[in-house]
Structure 1
Amino acid sequence: MRIAVLTDIHGNLPALKAVLEDIDKRGDIEHIYCLGDMLAIGYETDRVLELLFGRDDISMITGNHDEAVLALSRQETYPKSHQNERAHHQWIADRTDPDYLDRIRNLPRQITKHIEGRTVLFTHYHIHPDKADAHISEDPFSRIVKPTLENLELLFQEQSNIELICFGHHHPLHHFRNNRSIFLNPGSLGCQPKPVAPYARIDLEKEIRTEVIEVPYDNRSFLEGYKKFAVPEQDIILKIFHGGQLQK
Structure 2
Amino acid sequence: MEKKIAILTDIHGNHSALKTVLEQIDKAKEVEHIYCLGDLVGIGYETNEVLELLFSHDNISFVLGNHDEAILDIIAGRQPYSKGKEKAHHEWIASHLNPKFISYLSEIPTTLNAKYNGKELHFTHYHLNGQNEFYSVDKEPTEMKLDELYRTSTADIVCFGHHHVIHHFKTKERLYLNPGSLGCNLKPLAPFAILSIGECGEINVSFLEIPYDNKEFLLGYKTLNVPDSDYILKIFHGNQHLKYL
Q: Above 0.5 in TM-score?
A: yes
Q: What CA deviation, in whole Å up to 9, does each residue of 1:49-91 have, x standing for no partner?
A: 0000001000011100000011001101222x54441000000
State the match for 2:227 in structure 1.
232
State the match for 2:159 in structure 1.
166
State the match for 1:131 in structure 2.
131
Rounded Cα–Cα distance in structure 2 between residues aligned with 1:194 and 1:147? 24
State the match for 2:205 in structure 1.
210
Structure 2 counterpart of 1:151, from 145, 151, 161? 145
Q: What CA deviation, in whole Å up to 9, does each residue of 1:2-28 have, x standing for no partner?
A: 100000000000000010011011110
State the match for 2:135 in structure 1.
142
Query: Unaligned stretches of 5+ in structure 2?
Result: none
Rounded Cα–Cα distance in structure 1 between residues aligned with 2:23 and 2:144? 36
CA contact (8 A) 2:14 2:46 kept: yes
Rounded Cα–Cα distance in structure 1 between residues aligned with 2:59 and 2:83? 32
Rounded Cα–Cα distance in structure 1 between residues aligned with 2:152 and 2:12? 29
Rounded Cα–Cα distance in structure 1 between residues aligned with 2:6 and 2:75? 31
Read off the aligned partner of 2:87 and give its amino acid letter: R
CA RMSD of aligned residues (A): 1.2
Rounded Cα–Cα distance in structure 2 between residues aligned with 1:239 and 1:153? 34
Q: In structure 2, the residue corresponding to 1:131 is in which secondary structure? A: coil
State the match for 1:177 in structure 2.
170
- Deviation of residue 149 (structure 1)? 2.2
Rounded Cα–Cα distance in structure 2 between residues aligned with 1:84 and 1:119? 40
Rounded Cα–Cα distance in structure 1 between residues aligned with 2:240 and 2:73? 32
State the match for 1:200 in structure 2.
193
TM-score normalised to the size of structure 1?
0.92
Instruction: Indicate how the Cα distance of structure 1 residues 84 and 148 shifts in structure 2: closer, same or farther if over 3 A, else same.
Output: farther
TM-score normalised to the size of structure 2?
0.94
State the match for 2:59 in structure 1.
57
Rounded Cα–Cα distance in structure 2 between residues aligned with 1:185 and 1:158? 20
State the match for 1:222 in structure 2.
217
Q: In structure 1, the residue corresponding to 2:35 is in which secondary structure? A: strand
Rounded Cα–Cα distance in structure 2 between residues aligned with 1:147 and 1:221? 35
Identity of aligned residues (%): 48
Q: In structure 1, the residue corresponding to 2:180 is in which secondary structure? A: coil
Within-5 A mapping of 1:3-22: 3-22=5-24
Q: In structure 2, the residue corresponding to 1:230 is in which secondary structure? A: coil
Within-5 A mapping of 1:85-96: 85-96=86-97
CA contact (8 A) 2:85 2:227 kept: no
Rounded Cα–Cα distance in structure 2 between residues aligned with 1:203 and 1:243? 32
Q: In structure 2, the residue corresponding to 1:218 is in which secondary structure? A: coil
Within-5 A mapping of 1:43-122: 43-79=45-81, 82-122=83-123
State the match for 2:37 in structure 1.
35
Rounded Cα–Cα distance in structure 2 between residues aligned with 1:113 and 1:83? 38
Equivalent residues, number: 238
Rounded Cα–Cα distance in structure 2 between residues aligned with 1:158 and 1:72? 34
Read off the aligned partner of 2:178 and give its amino acid letter: N
Query: Unaligned stretches of 5+ in structure 1?
Result: 133-139
Rounded Cα–Cα distance in structure 2 between residues aligned with 1:240 and 1:155? 29
CA contact (8 A) 2:127 2:149 kept: yes
- Deviation of residue 147 (structure 1)? 3.0
- Deviation of residue 151 (structure 1)? 2.8
